Chain A
Amino acid sequence: MIKCENIFKSFDGRTVLNDISVTFETGKTNLIIGRSGSGKTVLLKTLVGLHEPDEGSIYFDDVCYTDLGFKARKAIRKDIGMIFQGGALIDSSTVFENVKLPLDLFTEQSEAEKRERVEFCLERVELSHAPHLYPSELSGGMIKRAAIARAIVLNPRYLFCDEPNSGLDPQTSIVIDNLIQSITREYNITTIINTHDMNSVMEIGEKIVYIHTGYKWWEGTKDDILNADNKELNDFVFASAMAKRARGK
């Protein structure tokens, strides 16, 4: 479980997050949704520790992350996997080397054990045919899958995904969404996904938090979202003509 309480964050005097309090549950795919510039990426990066909140507390299970020192935070970070919008694979390393990197740095496993673990993760994301390829040789979907493999290689307890579907076609997006959801359930991890893709929301949104102008505007499930009585949320959810027609039916 990840919980944040009364989070404020501002940049150069401009407040981006305003008093955000929310609990993300274990074993579920928790979605943060909102328009571009609403503050959802800042919220995700604050939760993961890339930004320091101005005020408020963040808990990883029962541990208050914001109260921890550098070393203790580092220990928690080893339990975190993150999938970035562009994949953020190391350009100069192959897929295999990218996935193996956390094992090299943080485990004392033998080369054979590491190879076995990397091969398992690559197989899990259906990328066992491409360990020798460099990121520049991969398609968008393959980059995301390699990033997922790297994120899960150390058996994380928390998984963060920043717009995992951006730049992907609808079919590949569903594959990535389902992969994240199945990994979340399989390993019982706390997954937080940042997205503005309504397909993802309806496909895997077990808990949804809607951020608007830096405030938590709404939270609920994918079943609640279609009938929510919230103008800004409805404007966001039913922005496309197709969604409006679907609602009309």
Chain B
Amino acid sequence: MKILAAFGRYIILMGKVFSRPEKWSIYYRRVISEMDQLGVGSIPLTAIISVFIGAVITIQMAITLESPFIPQFMIGYATKETMILEFSSTVIAIILAGKVGSNIASEIGTMRITEQIDALEIMGVNSAAYLILPKIIATMIFFPFLAAFSMIVGMFGGFLVARMGVMIPNDYIDGLLYYFDSYEIFYSLVKMTVFAFLITSISGYYGYYTKGNSLEVGKASTTAVVVSSIMIMIFNLLLTQLMR
């Protein structure tokens, strides 16, 4: 019953979020600013995690596929497939749910408890749209770029360990070039776009309905990350089934 009530409130909030903005120009500026804060600000984290995971996947594949019957380039191929299909969308999305989701929930939650949202409402501003919509648009545009960036950096991480002697670098590159299906990229980017919406809207919801004091902001932030992560996993399953 509680979950249903929360879902109802989430839908109502989304109704407010997607109602007509007061002024497009203000929202446009806010979208650019959010892209910088939530998107560009996440590039270093994405790069660090992707390069290391790409490297680790390559090492693990090299150990697992060590057989005279399996060609070496399959290590590069397996690394590429893992990065494109799951890591660069799903795992990066979960990491971003931690970073961006908690940021959004705590920012909006703090605005709620310090009456900044009330101040916007009194001015006649649709506070839900003003605060949440630019974040949703910004992440839905930028996160797919992060996913694409993660794919490239992850494969580069694999190349680095190949160069260090894990395998022959040329075989690794052959593996990356072997059987390229652009649909896989499309599938991954679509997933990331959906995950971006989930992370931002769920975190915005928990922040917007924060009540009480700073303790509640912390709780809202944690709940936002947990619920976003669970929803990412559920939608990952659904989208994989739908788009396979």
Closest-CB distance, A73 to chain B (whole angstroms): 8
Residue of A nearest to B116 (CB): A88
Interface size on A, residues (CB 8 A): 24
State in angstroms the CA–CA spacing of A181 and B157 once bound together: 66
A-B pairs with lowest CB-CB distance, top 8:
A77-B124, A88-B119, A88-B115, A84-B115, A82-B122, A74-B124, A88-B116, A78-B124
Q: Kindly identify which residue among B22, B114, B118, B119 contacts A105, using a CB–CB cutoff of 8 Å.
A: B22
B23 and A91 form a contact (CB under 8 A) = no
Q: Which residues of A contact B111 (CB under 8 A)?
A: 90-91
State in angstroms the CA–CA spacing of A82 and B115 once bound together: 11
A80 and B116 form a contact (CB under 8 A) = no
Binding site for A on B (CB under 8 A): 22-23, 26, 107, 110-111, 114-116, 118-119, 121-125
A88 and B124 form a contact (CB under 8 A) = no
Known: A49-B122, A50-B121, A104-B26. A90 touches B115 (CB 8 A): no
Residue of A nearest to B121 (CB): A50
Q: Which residues of B contact A84 (CB under 8 A)?
A: 115, 118-119
B22 and A86 form a contact (CB under 8 A) = no
Q: Which residues of B contact A86 (CB under 8 A)?
A: 114-115
Binding site for B on A (CB under 8 A): 45, 48-50, 74-75, 77-78, 80, 82, 84-86, 88-92, 101-102, 104-106, 160
Q: Which residues of B contact A102 (CB under 8 A)?
A: 123
Known: A50-B121, A77-B122, A78-B124. A104 touches B116 (CB 8 A): no
B125 and A105 form a contact (CB under 8 A) = yes
State in angstroms the CA–CA spacing of A45 and B118 once bound together: 10
